Amino acid sequence: MSVSDEEVAMMIAQRTSALRAELERTRADYEQIMVHLSVLSATVADPMKRRALELFATVVATDYELKVLLLREFSDPADREVWEKYLALLLWMVIDELPTRIGGDLRSAGRAFKAALKPVKADSEFIRNLSEIRNRIVAHRDLIAGDHWLAQWHLSAIANKHNRRTVAGNKIVTHALTVLDALKVLGTALRRQYPELLPTRD
């Protein structure tokens, strides 16, 4: 069953509205938590607690950044090639780098996090593309053997826009939503093990 342009537009509008409301809440929490963690870092000497603190700061900041970029993706799709590049960079960091920073004392949290990322990692073609975007377009802007990867990225995005392909079906977007859920799983596990990571509520 095909989906009409009107239905797609309505879905995007609903997702944009929901993301905007969620980002308002996230922004307030993000600022309060980051300030709290900064103060806490001056008093925490235990190596395991410091690692948990640093990991939690990464989770909080990355969650915020992903939501900002996703909102721009939905609300300003005319510039999608910009938002998607940096979404891809964040996704690569979460999928490839973040798991290696989870210590043995957080084994249970690490297992839950990796399980939540499985749907993304199972998409091997997407992971390959993500690696190329990270290495050849965002981080290094490679020009290799006459192949200008950055130019090709922009030309592909221009073609997608002119072919009226919506952002809703973009794999970077759909997998970013899964990654957000995985970050929530990891953040919840960290807070459960180290409740002092959260500031006290008035």
Reported as a single tens digit per residue, the pLDDT across 132-176 is 888 888 876 655 555 677 888 888 888 877 777 777 778 898 899
User: What's the sign of the alpha-carbon dihedral 8, 11, 17, 20?
Assistant: negative
Rg (CA), the chain: 19
Q: DSSP for 99-153?
A: GGG--GGGHHHHHHHHHHHHHHHT-HHHHHHHHHIIIIIISS--EETTEEHHHHH
Any domain includes 202: no
Contact 32, 26 (CB under 8 A): no
The pLDDT value recorded for residue 162 is: 77
pLDDT digits (tens, 9 = 90+) for 35-91: 999 999 999 999 989 999 999 999 999 999 999 999 898 888 888 888 988 999 999
pLDDT at 126 over 70: yes
Any domain includes 93: yes
Token pair, residue 5, equals 């342009």
The pLDDT value recorded for residue 22 is: 87
| Cα angle value 68/71/73 (rounded, 5°) | 110
Any domain includes 171: yes
Any domain includes 141: yes
Pair type for strands 147-148 and 143-144: antiparallel
Range of the domain at 171: 5-197
Number of domains in the chain: 1
Q: Residue 1 — very low, low, confident or very high, per pLDDT cuts 50/70/90?
A: very low
pLDDT at 4 over 60: no
What is this structure's pTM? 0.86
